[in-house]
Chains A and B, each alone.
Chain A
Amino acid sequence: MELLLAIGIGVLTTAGVFLLLRERTFSVLLGLTLLSYAVNLFVFATGGLRVGAPPLLSGHVAPPYADPLAQALVLTAIVISFAMTAFMVVLAIAARHRLGDDRVDPPGEQVE
């Protein structure tokens, strides 16, 4: 099971990084989203994988629980990535509108 998840995270990262290095902003957006899924899963996995033991102390579930700190960290990470993605999407739109095309490196740009 751990191996499957590791492979899954690896594949997500590969796809994410590949798309990230593409020329078009939309591909970059797709890549970033995939990469953030991969990283979130990774941080979640740091707590160890446990089935059927959510950290709820209401008496229905018996210890040992799944790791709540890893989950809290992932929640924070999900929300922050969401904010960044939203920002990046609008940046891509505004850039396209301003610069005329949606490539990350418009041709003819000089380094000053």
Chain B
Amino acid sequence: MNQWIVAPVLLPAMTAGVLLLAGPRLPRWLQRSIGIFASIALLAVAVHLVCDANAGAVQVYALGDWRPPVGIALVLDRLSALMLLLTAGLGLCALIAASGGIDTESPYFHSLLQFQLMGLNGAFLTGDLFNLFVFFEVLLIASYCLLLAGNTSRRLHAGMHYVVVNLVGSSLFLIAAGLLYALTGTLNLADLAVKLPKLAAAEQVLAHSAALMLLVVFSLKAALFPLFLWMPPAYSAASAPVAALFAIMTKVGIYSILRVYLVVFEPAAGPLGLHLSNWLVPAGLTTMMCGAVGALASRRLSGLTAQLTLLSAGTILAVAGLATQQALSAALFYLAHSTLAMAMLFLLCGLIATGSGEASDRLRQMGSRQSVVLSLLFGFTAIIAVGIPPLSGFLAKLMLLQASEQASQWPAIWSVMLASSLLALLALMRAGITLFWSVRNSSVAVPLTGQGPQLAAPILLALAITALSAGAEPIKHFMNATAVQMTDVAAYTQAVLSTPGRP
């Protein structure tokens, strides 16, 4: 039994506990060091787990040594390992960027960040529906606290909406989970997959309601149309490192949809098959258009980035909704790419905002020239975000287009994808020109001194994206294998339900 599987949850949890025990009076450099050290360790663990998962088998960890479905199981397959790696990487970059000064906004910032990582990792690893709910709550409450750090009016207002919307979502989650328990008597995802098809016809209706409710909850988290209105204000109000970390929060919703639907409500399972493509593809496409148009209409760079995040979430789901292996693989590659790209863009917002003083990141003519480094980074990010060759953005978009070729909805998908890319390009170009070119007084430069950590983080992300582009071939193989594994439900259920343990 692989004890490392529980490490991504325990490591941040214990780190947060220690940091909390020591309290906010601990010298800041020590807090930062502990946090960064723990995050590096987490990244190492995630890499190790990815290599483990790449060996092929689905690994199960029976908590409390109770065999599933009696106890709660953690499941490590390629998909969860991939999400863990993304989370760990993003967490480290956000932490580095925050160490530049944002972490003074909240006395408990470093503990909160670790708790957030704990919640995310717990959600990605669990194989139990109610446990998913619990860890959703952990990551949600941590995100509320991180969002509200600093107590500005803008954040309080955005936070209010964010909290209320998510509380309603949580209630819905509970109802759906309760319903599924009442129908099948179990909460374990693999066990649900086995027991649901055996229900009588009248009960199938109830199961359908539960499935739809879960779709609503996860779509809310993933910011899918029509449940996405909470997202842009919340993400653009957050401080830059926090927003960068939030780039993975929509992915939790996407992950949950994929995991729960592919395993439990799998299309092949007879009358229960809820043909994802009927719902996800149109919703995803609409989200894409809303995001693209919103990006054009934004007056702040952070707002623009939030809309682009919306766009990427919609893209992932629109293509993943086709549920073929090629589509899933392409969607996953794009997921990895866009998460890194959006995080980088958010971090750049922070850098630009610091440099412009009161104007913050509003898309207005700048008083003085931004540094060359910053403009280069922005250009780089814009290229990858839109998908211009030769970097990973282009590769990802190409894969997506290819994957949707066979589908019946391909005209819609292709046109929306290309149109939204064009709009995104326009929006980013306009932002770039406003912020970097049309400067009133080009002889005065905004200095970049004292922003070492905040600059280091986007550079790290840039390196990661370059690695993603350069190593696209092996990574694509990994994604293909992940897609195959995701659709092999029998292997999943078999692995989980045959785990040894008490009683």
Contacts and interface: CB of A to CB of B under 8 A. Distances in A.
Interface of A: 20, 25, 28, 32, 35-36, 39, 42-43, 45-47, 69-70, 73, 76-77, 80, 83-84, 87-88, 91-92, 94-95, 98-99, 104, 106, 109, 111-112
Given A32-B167, A104-B164, A112-B232, 5 more contacts: A45-B178, A77-B174, A91-B144, A91-B163, A95-B156
B146 to A, nearest CB: 13
Interface stretch (B16-24, B193-201, B219-227, B298-306): B298-306
Nearest to A28: B164
B157 A109 contact: yes
A104 B160 contact: yes
B28 to A, nearest CB: 24
A99 B153 contact: yes
A46 B182 contact: yes
B364 interface: no
Contacts of A76: 130, 134
Contacts of A92: 160
A53 B174 CA distance: 25
Nearest to B144: A87
Given A32-B167, A73-B181, A112-B300, A91 B160 contact: yes
Given A25-B160, A39-B175, A88-B163, A83 B130 contact: no
Contacts of A35: 168, 171
Contacts of B160: 25, 91-92, 95, 104
A112 B233 contact: yes
Contacts of A87: 141, 144, 163
A106 B157 contact: yes
A80 B137 contact: yes
Main secondary structure of the interface of B (DSSP, over half): helix
B148 interface: yes
Interface of B: 130, 134, 137, 141, 144, 148, 151, 153, 156-157, 159-161, 163-164, 167-168, 170-171, 174-175, 177-179, 181-182, 187, 232-233, 236, 298-300, 303
B148 to A, nearest CB: 7
Contact of A104 (B161, B233, B300): B161
Across the A-B interface, the 10 shortest Cβ-Cβ residue pairs: A46-B182, A43-B178, A46-B178, A112-B303, A95-B156, A39-B171, A39-B174, A98-B153, A46-B181, A112-B300
Contact of B167 (A45, A88, A111): A88
Contacts of B300: 112
Contact of A99 (B141, B157, B168, B175): B157
B430 to A, nearest CB: 16
A107 to B, nearest CB: 12
Q: Output the residue of A45, A46, A112 with the most chain B CB within 10 A.
A: A112
Contacts of B130: 73, 76
Contacts of A112: 232-233, 236, 298-300, 303
Contacts of A36: 171
A44 to B, nearest CB: 9
A50 to B, nearest CB: 14
